[in-house]
Amino acid sequence: MPQVKETPHALNQIKGLRLQKRYAKQKALFISNPAHRSLDFCMWDHKYRICSFKITNKYRVKIIKDGDIYTVIDAGDYH
């Protein structure tokens, strides 16, 4: 089961966009089923293991994968 942690910068971005509740819901879904289609999980860079999943239709979180640990590094409009 994956573990998700957030950098202080990412938490500030999520709070600034007022997405705390939606992020918490999507994070729980990601932990229980990373392949769930509503997350729209995508790998951006295989070499550096940078990927993202959807918070809302407009916003995503950018994460770095290290084994089973995912670190959220940013949140924003990545479409």
Bridge partner list, 6:
72
pLDDT at 75: 95
Q: Does the predicted model carry a pTM greater than 0.85?
A: yes
- Residue 67 covered by a domain: yes
- Residue 48 covered by a domain: yes
Token duo for residue 17: 């966009």
Is residue 72 a contact partner of residue 5, using CB atoms and an 8 Å limit?
A: yes
Token duo for residue 24: 């918490």
- Of the candidates 77, 67, 70, 78, the one whose C-alpha atom is nearest the C-alpha of residue 16 is 77
pLDDT at 79: 64
The tens place of each residue's pLDDT in the chain, 79 residues long, gives: 789 999 999 999 999 999 999 999 999 999 999 889 999 998 888 888 999 999 999 999 999 999 889 999 999 997 6
Domain that holds residue 7: 3-74
Question: Total structural domains in the chain?
Answer: 1
- Residue 30 covered by a domain: yes
- Residue 43 covered by a domain: yes
In CATH, what number is assigned to the domain containing residue 50? Answer: 3.30.2310.20
pLDDT at 1: 77
